[in-house]
Amino acid sequence: MDIFNMTFPISGVTTNVLLPPLISLVISFFTSMGGISGAFLLLPFQMSVLNYTAPSVSGTNHVFNIVAIPSGVYRYVKEGRMAWPLTWVVIAGTLPGVFIGYYLRVLYLPGPKMFKLFVGCVLFYIGFRLFKELLFPNKAQSAAAKSLEEKFKARTAEIRKDQSSKMAAGIPTDAVVKTISVSMKLVEYEFWGERFSFHTIGMFSLAFIVGIIGGAYGIGGGAIIAPFCVAFFNLPIYTIAGATLMGTFITSVAGALFFSILPATNGASPMPDWPLGILFGVGGFIGMYLGAKTQKYMPQKFIKVFVGSAIMFLAIKYIVQYFY
Give pLDDT tens digits for 79-106: 999 999 999 999 998 888 877 877 777 7
Distance CA 77, CA 73 (A): 6
| Overall number of domains in the chain | 1
The pLDDT value recorded for residue 21 is: 96
Q: Is 96 within a domain?
A: yes
Q: Is 9 within a domain?
A: no
Quote the mean pLDDT of the chain.
83
Q: Is 45 within a domain?
A: yes
The pLDDT value recorded for residue 159 is: 61
217-234 tens-digit pLDDT: 656 667 778 877 887 788
Whether 57 shows a pLDDT value over 60: the answer reads yes
End-to-end CA gap in the chain? 35
Query: Could you tell me what percent of the chain has a pLDDT over 90?
Result: 33
DSSP 8-state secondary structure symbol assigned to residue 174: T
Q: Is 240 within a domain?
A: yes
Whether 188 shows a pLDDT value over 90: the answer reads yes
Q: Is 51 within a domain?
A: yes
Q: Is 10 within a domain?
A: no
Strand order in the sheet with 178-182: 178-182, 186-191, 194-199
* Residue range 231-249: mean pLDDT, rounded: 88
Q: Is 2 within a domain?
A: no
Q: What pTM value is reported for the model?
A: 0.83
Task: Classify residue 119 as exposed, middle or buried by CB count within 10 Å of its CB (0-12, 13-18, 19+).
Answer: buried
Whether 75 shows a pLDDT value over 90: the answer reads yes
What domain range is 261 assigned to? 16-137+144-322
For the beta carbon of residue 137, count every other beta carbon within 10 angstroms.
Answer: 12
The pLDDT value recorded for residue 16 is: 93
Q: Is 4 within a domain?
A: no
For the beta carbon of residue 106, count every other beta carbon within 10 angstroms.
Answer: 21
Distance CA 55, CA 236 (A): 35
Alpha-carbon torsion (128, 32, 202, 254), positive or negative = positive
Whether 122 shows a pLDDT value over 90: the answer reads no
Q: Helix 200-217 to helix 84-103 angle, to the nearest 10 degrees?
A: 40
Distance CA 91, CA 83 (A): 13
The pLDDT value recorded for residue 140 is: 53
253-304 tens-digit pLDDT: 888 887 788 776 666 677 899 999 999 999 999 999 999 999 888 887 888 7
Whether 4 shows a pLDDT value over 50: the answer reads yes
